[in-house]
Amino acid sequence: MRQIADLPDLDFNSADYVAAPFATLAAHGQKWPLARSARGVEILDYDLCRKAVLDRQLGTGHPKLMNVLGLPEGRPLNYKRQSISFHNRGPRRRDLRLPLARLMGPEGTETFRREVDGVVQRVIEAIPKGEPTDLIETLCDPTPSAVYCYWMGAPFEDAAFVARTSHSVQKVHTRNPEFAEEIINAFEALIDFAEARIAACRAAPGDNLLTDLIKAEEAGQLDEDDLRNWVIKLAEANTDNSSHQIGIAVIELASRPEVWARLGRDPSLVPAAVREVMRYHPRTISTSREAMEDMVIADVAIPKGTPVFANIGATHWDERYYAEPETFDIDRTDEPPHLNFGGGIFSCIGRYAVTMEVEQVISHLATRYPNLAVEDHGFTHSPMFTSVSRLVARLQ
């Protein structure tokens, strides 16, 4: 049996990774199912990654992440400790997920498709037409934050605040203590916002997700802290991730005129196109876990407490699982599903909602703006995420 020290090194700061992250990860994965990096053990094989996101011996890496950031005692750290991010497999995590899983599963998500579509149309209507426009500012950020405001019964004007704070709190995944103050301030603001929204919704219930969550609390499925923490968690996770996923989809699809034209002619192709975007250029490059006990992965001894990362970016470009993975093809069939949203009890609770938001954006843009032109764009790729750094386009 091998030890972690025997594994090859994977350098996320290398010129190869910076220039071509997915091809680089896939090339490593062709040679080694596992590697090691400065942050921990890296899984590079599709089957091993899929097993890792489901493996009961692997738990959430969030508690250790808070230590790396050096967050002090206070409301933000208390929120994190109480939220689902800190809870591993077992009854507590299951009980926290269950009310949201019912409300945001496939059927629950479909119940608010019409309202989400209305939010998307409102956002798109406000975008300047026929001139170069910053779509991060006018589309990518406003869409998911406005959807969140709809869920919470909040004014549309609160969307800018939600987007700004979501981007800040997601910097926990940089593992960089230099962002600790910004993260703390953003969480403080989100906690105040959540408490105010809950109070307002108790006083005047509406036809929205927050009212449904309050009903779950009143039925004993959540306690008061759980309710508040879910309101914060949905802002924390939804807006930042969805914004970048929308940007990635617009760039990858509109930059291919023949694909964009097909989507405009036949919007029923949009779900397949979005799935291919999530495979070819995933927002989530890796997902973090921690060994809950001494264990073995691919004949390598993994001691308890070891950070373990399932590298989704490697699996999606693995030619053993996807034919010509470097080719963008919305007509793929009979290939494994993408792993963007994890799996099992750690799967993304909002995965159906995020996917629906992206689909609605692409459907409206492709049908209404067949000549949409991406004039400038840029990406950054950390070990964890793809981020859209700039996106200028002309709606025409």
pLDDT tens for each residue of 341-352:
887 777 888 899
pTM to 2 decimal places: 0.93
For the chain, the C-alpha Rg in angstroms (whole number) is 21
> 3-state SS of the chain: helix, strand, coil percent to 5?
60, 15, 30
φ, ψ of residue 285 in degrees (nearest 5): -85, -35
Displacement of CA 331 from its chain's centroid (Å): 24
Task: Please report the pLDDT score of residue 89 as a whole number.
Answer: 67
Angle (deg, nearest 10), helices 351-368 and 142-152: 130
- For the segment 218-237, the average pLDDT, to the nearest whole number, is 92
DSSP string, 283-348: SBSEEEEEESSSEEETTEEE-TT-EEEEEHHHHTT-TTTSSSTTS--TT--SSPPP-TT--GGGS-
Q: HSE-up of 27 (CA within 13 Å, CB side)?
A: 8
Task: Please report the pLDDT score of residue 81 as a whole number.
Answer: 85
Reported as a single tens digit per residue, the pLDDT across 168-187 is 998 888 888 999 999 999 99
Burial of 230 (0-12, 13-18, 19+ CB in 10 A): buried
Lowest mean pLDDT among 18-27, 97-106, 190-199, 376-385: 97-106
Note the CATH architecture for domain 4-394: Orthogonal Bundle (1.10)
Check pLDDT > 80 for residue 316. Answer: yes
- For the segment 184-194, the average pLDDT, to the nearest whole number, is 95
**DSSP reduced 3-state for 390:** strand
**Higher per-residue confidence, 343 vs 339:** 339
φ, ψ of residue 293 in degrees (nearest 5): -160, 170
Q: Give CA angle at 384 (382, 387), nearest 5°.
A: 55
Check pLDDT > 80 for residue 62. Answer: no
Q: Which of 359, 310, 311, 316 is nearest to 336 (CA)?
A: 316
